[in-house]
Chain A
Amino acid sequence: MTVKKDTIRHTPFILALFFLIMVGVGIYFKEPSRVMHQAWQICLSCIGIG
């Protein structure tokens, strides 16, 4: 039985870094504040009421 040597996959780390940069750009544009304010409000029509 042959035993394969494990090799580190770099793709997930590069992807995580790419998306982390995206998060950083979003924070730069003050998106979290907007998201939080949206989440504080009940959007009645969004949940099928009204």
Chain B
Amino acid sequence: MGAMSAVRKWVQTILALAANGSWTFPWTKMIYQGPLKVICSPGLNCYSCPASTTYCPIGALQQLLGGIRMALFNGQYFFGLYIVGTLGVIGAFVGRMVCGWACPFGLIQELLHKIPSAKFGIPRWMRYIKFAVLLIMVIILPLFAVDKMGIGSPWFCKHLCPAGTLEAGIPLLLMHPNLRATAGWLFLNKLMFLVIFLVWSILASRPFCRTTCPLGAFYAMFSKVKMIKLRLDPELCTNCRACHKVCPMGVHFNESPEDTECISCMACSRACNFGAIHLEFGGLRLGESTIKQPVVNNKNILNSSRGIS
């Protein structure tokens, strides 16, 4: 494991613990109710998790959109601007780097993928599902599928979110035996999705992030414009495709350096022997190129090795 990979693992672990830093729940049987819950969790982290110290932007946004009629009726202008604004600031700075460095559920998937087994890819078209999940389950249904009181449900949390089941549903059922009788088909349905994604994570790399995560879909919209991102130096790239083999998100970085799936984990940067991939901040290159092989003219070297003159 390279130094940067170790740093990333530490950052992921520390941020996961920071977002879930309230460990009094085994005694209190309560979730954390302190002032830190006004802070947005950058990654997907259920705020009903007993240890959670931050709010989940996807859950909070659905709740606000679902209650928008009631709020307006009471003269409260809760449109989700605070939440979308916070996500937008994060997106403008780092975009999906959050997925690679700060998402607890991303970390869980990465750890599961280390379990030895046959490994499979994920069809490219499945990346578009998450945009539909964001639009339909997080925005449209909570906003328009309302009950007689005019209140919408958080559809994504209620019917799909595996992070919520793992971090909140299961711990709460374990902590409160009296709740177990109320766990019906809805919970079984969500449990099924959790099991599917956990098993899928062993067989394929980050399946939830790549196919379903609405938060990842939101951050993906910043991939071309975010401040900190990986940049390809076409002068140094030999198209050797070393970056294809190591990417946990199935990105072909030399072909699409601004791919919406890139989580800036820097696996490609480490794998590139020609120093063609590096970080940039707002257009300015960060750090010096670390070329692992002498560069005279990379393209000519590669062509000559292929017998092309």
Q: What is the distance, in angstroms, from A46's C-beta to the closest C-beta of chain B? A: 4
**Which of A27, A29, A31, A40 is most buried by chain B, counting CB atoms within 10 A of its CB?**
A31
State whether the Cβ of B225 lies closer than 8 Å to any Cβ in chain A.
yes
| Chain A positions 2 through 17: 1 when the CB is less than 8 Å from some CB of chain B, otherwise 0 | 1000111101110110
**Are A16 and B284 interface neighbours, CB within 8 A?**
no
How far is A16 from B228 in the complex, measured between Cα atoms in Å?
12
Chain A positions 3-45 with a Cβ under 8 Å from a chain B Cβ: 6-9, 11-13, 15-16, 18-27, 29-36, 38-40, 42-45
Q: Which of A18, A24, A32, A45 contacts B38 (CB 8 A)?
A: A32
**Are A19 and B92 interface neighbours, CB within 8 A?**
yes
What residues of chain A have their CB less than 8 Å away from a CB belonging to chain B?
1-2, 6-9, 11-13, 15-16, 18-27, 29-36, 38-40, 42-50
State whether the Cβ of B89 lies closer than 8 Å to any Cβ in chain A.
yes
Chain B residue nearest to A36 (CB atoms) is B38
Set of chain B residues within 8 Å of A7, measured between Cβ atoms = 283
How far is A45 from B172 in the complex, measured between Cα atoms in Å?
12
Q: What is the distance, in angstroms, from B266's C-beta to the closest C-beta of chain A? A: 19
| Chain B positions 28 through 66: 1 when the CB is less than 8 Å from some CB of chain A, otherwise 0 | 000101010110000000111000101110011001100
**Are A18 and B88 interface neighbours, CB within 8 A?**
yes
Q: Which 9 A-B pairs have the closest CB atoms?
A: A26-B82, A19-B88, A22-B85, A23-B85, A26-B81, A9-B283, A48-B190, A12-B227, A31-B82
Known: A34-B64, A39-B60, A40-B33. A45 touches B283 (CB 8 A): no
Q: Which of A6, A33, A38 contacts B60 (CB 8 A)?
A: A38
How far is A20 from B89 in the complex, measured between Cα atoms in Å?
6
Q: Add 4 more A-B contacts to A9-B227, A48-B158, A48-B165 (CB < 8 A).
A: A26-B79, A47-B157, A47-B169, A48-B191
How big is chain B's contact interface, by range?
A: 35 or more
A-B contact pairs, 26 of them (CB 8 A): A2-B235, A7-B283, A8-B282, A13-B227, A16-B88, A16-B89, A19-B86, A20-B85, A21-B85, A22-B81, A22-B84, A25-B81, A26-B81, A29-B77, A29-B81, A31-B80, A31-B81, A34-B71, A38-B55, A39-B38, A39-B54, A39-B55, A42-B31, A42-B48, A45-B158, A46-B63
**Are A46 and B154 interface neighbours, CB within 8 A?**
yes
Q: Chain B contact residues: over half helix, strand or loop, or mixed?
A: helix
**Are B37 and A12 interface neighbours, CB within 8 A?**
no
**Are B93 and A44 interface neighbours, CB within 8 A?**
no
Q: Chain A contact residues: over half helix, strand or loop, or mixed?
A: helix
Q: What is the distance, in angstroms, from B269's C-beta to the closest C-beta of chain A? A: 17
**Are A48 and B169 interface neighbours, CB within 8 A?**
yes
Set of chain B residues within 8 Å of A38, measured between Cβ atoms = 47, 55, 59-60, 63-64
Binds A, one of B178-186, B197-205, B301-309: B178-186
Chain B residue nearest to A25 (CB atoms) is B81
How far is A7 from B71 in the complex, measured between Cα atoms in Å?
46
**Are B82 and A35 interface neighbours, CB within 8 A?**
yes
**Are A32 and B82 interface neighbours, CB within 8 A?**
yes
**Are B76 and A34 interface neighbours, CB within 8 A?**
yes
Set of chain A residues within 8 Å of B55, measured between Cβ atoms = 35-36, 38-39
How far is A43 from B168 in the complex, measured between Cα atoms in Å?
10
Q: Which of A2, A9, A20, A47 contacts B172 (CB 8 A)?
A: A47
